[in-house]
Amino acid sequence: MNREYLKAIREHEIRQVLDLIPSGATILEIGAGAGWHARWLSDHGFDVKAIDVEDHLFRDHTEWEVIKYDGETIPFPDASFSVVFTSHVMDYLASDNPVHAEIQRVLKDDGIVVHILPTPSWWAWSLITHYPFYFKTFFFAVFHNFAPRDETAAGFRAGLFNRKVTDQIREFVATVLLPAREGATGSLIGPFRLFADRTRKPFFERLGWLVIRIRPTGVYYSRYKLLDFVVDLRTRVALSTIMGSSSRIYVLKKKLPSRHRETQRVTENRT
């Protein structure tokens, strides 16, 4: 994985969220990883707290204070935040995960939740690029003296070639022959349905949310970053008009008790 490439993608996505967040908002980011988003939001004047589980992927590369939590209980009091933000996190949480209720608890009644999530288009291109990506990775791992700096290839080389033959075979089958499942879906075709708006919207509604806005982030990429060192961000933004946006933004509000619903409807109509 090229972290700088991924960081550029994520910063493009968070820029599409900025106009949705009220001035002076207190923000909680769940699944903050390296803290890229938290730092970026703080630089734009927001009061930000960030949490993630202890063994997250970027634990050795953090750029912001990321508070460890157990993946279930958010370590803040009730109604602490006016915005809860996540990026590419919610698909890894089962519908019965306590975090869903915890988000309701720590969010103020008039607050919003902003999720950035992958689309069916992202999954389709991820399947299409799976084998070309591993061909590139294998080539760079073997001929590393002639390859550009590629962290995935370096890790692949260290993880695969320095193991026993049986472990090498197991690793090859698990990562190369079969594309990895995404999130909690458990199948290769499941994301085409689960990542669609027609599935996500009722899912959020069942969890007690009103979906008040859905919009694309307007950037193309796949899971495998096949040409991460060739195709720049501007080109990927242009490609999204042809190949589809790889992520969408979902903005949610609480379903308030009946005495508040009329006020909420008026607010949404003005929005």
- Digit-coded pLDDT (tens) for 34-50: 899 999 999 999 999 99
For the chain, which residues make up each domain, given as ranges? 3-122+183-270, 124-177
In CATH, the architecture of 3-122+183-270 is 3-Layer(aba) Sandwich (3.40)
Least confident piece of the model among 74-78, 84-88, 122-126, 144-148: 144-148
234 pLDDT exceeds 50?
yes
Q: What is the residue whose two structure tokens read 């009103």?
A: 210
Q: What is the pLDDT of residue 206?
A: 93
Q: What is the pLDDT of residue 170?
A: 61
Mean pLDDT of 242-252: 97
Q: How far apart are the first and last CA of the chain?
A: 39
Q: What is the residue whose two structure tokens read 């202890």?
A: 54
199 pLDDT exceeds 90?
yes
Q: What residues have CB less than 8 Å from 165, skipping those under 6 apart?
A: none
The predicted model scores a pTM of 0.81
Beta-bridge partners for 52: 68
Q: What is the pLDDT of residue 110?
A: 95
Beta-bridge partners for 86: 30, 115
Predicted confidence band at 271 (pLDDT cuts at 50, 70, 90)? very low
Six token digits for residue 212: 């008040």
243 pLDDT exceeds 70?
yes
Q: Where is pLDDT greater, at 171 or 62?
A: 62
6 pLDDT exceeds 60?
yes
Q: What is the pLDDT of residue 140?
A: 62
Q: What is the residue whose two structure tokens read 């995960």?
A: 97
Q: What percent of the chain has pLDDT over 70?
A: 72
Q: What is the pLDDT of residue 163?
A: 56
